[in-house]
Amino acid sequence: MNALLLHSAARERGGWGGTVSLAVPGVWSEDCLNHEPDGEVWLGVREPGTEVPARALVLRVALTAAGAPVVPARPHGEEILRAVHDPELVDHLARFWHDWVAAGFPAQYGRDRAVPYVFPTAGMLAGLPLRSPPAVHGRAGRFCYDTMTLVGPGSWAAIRGAVDAALTAADLVSSGERLAYALCRPPGHHVTRDAYGGSCYLNNAAVAAQALRAAGAGRVAVIDIDAHHGNGTQMIFYDRPDVWYGSLHVDPGAGWFPHYAGYASERGRGAGDGFNRNLPLAPGTGDDDWLAAVAALCGEARAAGPDAVVVSLGLDAAAADPESPLQVTEAGYHAAGRQVAALAPTVLIQEGGYDLASLGGFAVAAVTGAAAGAYG
């Protein structure tokens, strides 16, 4: 780990940071290290998983080595959180690990992490009201839609730390900073109003967008450049014209997570019709086509007239990333950062990005590009 961190830090000095210090505030919570999902259950088998605490360390070391000042996340109340999410989801996540332990699952039954086994799908309920089952193991799936998003002892502290980092970065931008970065871990863009999954528990980007609205931004654009579709963010704002959502991502129709959302035909609904844009990309897409899609999204976002921008900054489109087949380079992320941050005052929210050897360099490339777009 130390060798990896040093390698990562050393690369930055010869890379995008150059000799000029990266002046973008990087908001961070120490609590983000406490979430140890310790694997994911994929197709019935528990595997090591890629959403690991070392991700946050690699990102922090790389950005600070490039000169970014670290700003501690400030604790926030739950008001905005409960506006974006079903308050029962928030309560569930806050309490579930305690309930799991009290029911004896780690000590008596060898279940060291909480994983659901029954999911109350729309088809199962067929109109019945969604109950809160008394059995803890029954309740595990009430708000969860996959088996890859495990809950452990430090999860809730990290989930709150990530939201606080997003809210602190949004505060900075609302009070006049042109650009801020939140090192959110766990990530968030797969979480809908009341369902979590995809290694995400609460939607940091959606909470940041809602906070910008509450602080006076009349219109917000969320631009999602994670390799996966941000189905959670899309659905949170699907019926609303005040928060435009646009995403480019590997085509779910070609077999990629989240499978059930992220198609080009999803354009918003009701008052939100026309305020959602998906650009699915073929597996193997590299810089040229990826950047053309970024430019297309930015053109549409600009037309929406945003007063502020939230970027779901997933770095998993990186060529070496184990979770996506996109083939984007550091230069691609630098150019994307420049374009998105030029639109309006911008909050960068960390989402995915799982190749520890290249992650730091990609983060510095993206944030350095964003600084060039914001201040250039």
Task: Give the interface with Zn ion as residue ranges (CB under 5 A).
Answer: 226-228, 314, 316, 352
Q: Which does 263 bind (CB under 5 to 8 A by kind): ligand SP5, Zn ion, none?
A: none
Q: What is the DSSP string of 206-262?
A: HHHHHHHHHTT-S-EEEEE-SSS--HHHHHHTTT-SSEEEEEEEE-GGGT-TTSSS-
Q: How far is the CB of 254 from ligand SP5 (least distance, A)?
A: 14
Residues 288-317 that bind ligand SP5 (CB under 6 A): 314, 316
- What residue 198 binds from ligand SP5, Zn ion, none (CB within 5 to 8 A, per partner kind)? ligand SP5
200's contact among Zn ion, ligand SP5, none, with CB below 5 to 8 A by partner kind, is ligand SP5
Length of the chain equals 376
By C-beta, is 187 or 360 nearer to ligand SP5? Answer: 187
Q: Which residue is nearest to ligand SP5 (CB)?
A: 352
Question: Please, which residue, 55 or 277, has the CB nearer to Zn ion?
Answer: 55
Q: Which is nearer to ligand SP5, 61 or 326 (CB)?
A: 326
**H-helix or E-strand spanning residue 367:** helix 356-375
- Separation between Cα atoms, residue 184 and residue 164, nearest integer Å: 9
Binding-residue pattern over the window 242 to 281 for ligand SP5, x denoting contact by CB under 6 A: ---------------x------------------------
Tokens of 37: 């999902």
What are the residues facing 71 on neighbouring strands? Answer: 27
Q: For the chain, give the longest Cα–Cα distance.
A: 62
Nearer to Zn ion by Cβ, of 161 and 252: the residue is: 252
Where in 128-187 is the site for ligand SP5 (CB under 6 A)?
Answer: 148, 187
Whether the CB-CB separation of 277 and 245 falls below 8 Å is answered with: yes
Only one residue has tokens 């911008």, namely: 346
CA distance linking residue 293 with residue 336, whole number of Å: 10
Contact indicator for 118, 143 with CB cutoff of 8 Å: no
**Bond before 186 cis per omega within 30 degrees:** yes
Site for ligand SP5 contains 351 (CB under 6 A): yes
Q: Specify whether 76 is catalytic.
A: no
Over the window 33 to 72, marking each residue x when it contacts ligand SP5 by CB under 6 A and - when it does not, the resulting string is ---------x------------------------------
Find the residue with minimal CB distance to Zn ion: 352
Specify the residue, 236 or 344, whose C-beta has the smaller distance to ligand SP5.
Answer: 236
Total residues at interface with ligand SP5 (CB under 6 A): 16
Q: Which residues pair with 277 in a beta bridge?
A: 246
Contact call for residues 111 and 97 (beta carbons, < 8 A): no
Angle, vertex CA 350, rays to CA 344 and CA 352, nearest 5: 130
Which residue among 37, 198, 325, 369 contacts ligand SP5 (CB under 6 A)? Answer: 198
Which one is catalytic: 190, 228, 229, 334? 190
Query: Helix, strand, or coil here: 85?
Result: coil
* Burial grade of 92 (CB within 10 A; 0-12, 13-18, 19 or more): buried
In this complex, which beta carbon is closest to ligand SP5, that of residue 49 or of residue 272? 49
Rounded least distance, CB 141 to ligand SP5, Å: 18
Residue 187 contact, options ligand SP5, Zn ion, none, Cβ 5-8 Å cut-off depending on partner type: ligand SP5
What single string gives the DSSP state of each residue in 107-143? HHH---SB--S----HHHHTT------SSHHHHTTTT
For position 318 contacting ligand SP5 by CB under 6 A, the verdict is no
Enumerate binding residues for ligand SP5 (CB under 6 A): 42, 148, 187, 190, 198-200, 226, 228, 257, 314, 316, 322-323, 351-352
Give catalytic residue positions: 190
